[in-house]
Chain A
Amino acid sequence: MNHIVIDNSKCKACYLCIKECPKNLIKISSQTNNLGNRTVEFVDPNHECLGCALCATRCPDLAITEVYRG
């Protein structure tokens, strides 16, 4: 199952990844991290993730740490 791993403690809430995802699977979370930022979460109930890694390539803060395919 394609998926990404987000390290919420590094997210600075720039939300660039949200716009990048072709399937709109990254949402603003209700959680706030230790930096006081409202972070993002990966929501993929229908297993639509392409594993394209566009989000991870775009993330300027190393918050998307891993992307898997298959």
Chain B
Amino acid sequence: MATQVFKLPESLRENTRYSFCPGCDHGVAVRLVAEVLDELGIRENTILAASIGCSVTIYDFLNIDAIEAPHGRAMAEATGVKRARPDKFVFTYQGDGDFASIGLAESLNAALRGENISAICINNTTYGMTGGQLGPTTLVGQVTTTSPTGRNIEYYGYPIKIAEHIALCDGTAFSARVSLDTVANIKKAKQAIKKAFEVQIKGLGLGFVEILSTCPTNWKMTPDEAHERVRNEMMKTFVPGIYKDVTAD
């Protein structure tokens, strides 16, 4: 009798076909969110506040209720939804540009207010959907379409370390940075997403996960080379780890 050890999560829409580029880690991140929704049994009680960017397409793939926010305002909108319907599970799924550039005020203030919501931020060091421009997390020296000679700190300043900033806010219950470059790290990422969701269910405050992801198209790399870049370059600036966990001893 064969035992099924892997199946696609039920929170994914039937026959889901992603619109992401080949090798993009967004696909893994969306699947992990769906798996966690399944495991916590909260799919039918969940409302997503969607963002702008490649991350917005998540509402095409998940079989949950969703509301669209203007660019960067997903955390503000999630705040409103949660305050109006505190019985619902509310989360955002945003890119780094949406979360930490145009939406930085909304994101940080939601953490400072200790909103009882969860947030996932995909960090791929660029604006993926619009063609690979310099973003808030672009690494020093990284070449993008708007920094053709590389990110120059005298001109553009330094990249923002989102997980550390969110962890510094007193209203944050959980903040972690994870990566999807290896299968082992994918499993750790799933545990972090689960934890960020659980702190909301327990009413402890904001749960946040920053996920280091690839953008092979705009990085002009193969999917394998992109994962090498995550390991060899991104992780030096964006060190994975749990930066705050109020449930830990």
Contacts and interface: CB of A to CB of B under 8 A. Distances in A.
A13 to B, nearest CB: 6
Interface residues of B, number: 28
Contact of B3 (A4, A12, A20, A68): A68
Given A13-B22, A15-B223, A61-B18, A67 B5 contact: yes
Contacts of A15: 223-224
Nearest to B186: A57
A61 B2 contact: no
Interface string A49-63: 001011011111110
A54 to B, nearest CB: 5
Contact of B6 (A10, A20, A67): A67
B4 A68 contact: yes
Main secondary structure of the interface of A (DSSP, over half): mixed
Q: Which of A4, A9, A12 has the most CB of B within 10 A?
A: A12
Contacts of B220: none
A19 B225 CA distance: 12
B7 interface: yes
Main secondary structure of the interface of B (DSSP, over half): mixed
B23 A70 contact: no
Interface string A14-28: 111001100000000
B31 interface: yes
A10 B224 contact: no
A62 B2 contact: no
B6 A57 contact: yes
A65 B16 CA distance: 11
Contact of A70 (B2, B187, B224): B2
Given A16-B23, A66-B7, A68-B3, A57 B223 contact: no
B214 to A, nearest CB: 9
A62 B4 contact: no
B221 to A, nearest CB: 11
Interface string B175-187: 0000000010011
B40 interface: no
B12 A62 contact: yes
26 contacts: A4-B6, A9-B17, A12-B22, A12-B23, A14-B216, A14-B223, A16-B224, A20-B183, A51-B5, A53-B5, A57-B187, A60-B18, A60-B20, A60-B25, A61-B17, A61-B20, A62-B16, A62-B18, A62-B27, A67-B5, A68-B2, A68-B4, A69-B2, A69-B3, A70-B2, A70-B3
Interface of A: 1, 4, 9-10, 12-16, 19-20, 37, 51, 53-54, 56-62, 64-70
Given A62-B31, A65-B8, A68-B5, 20 more contacts: A9-B17, A10-B17, A10-B18, A14-B23, A16-B23, A19-B224, A37-B22, A54-B183, A57-B6, A60-B18, A60-B28, A61-B20, A62-B16, A62-B17, A65-B7, A66-B4, A66-B7, A67-B5, A69-B3, A70-B2
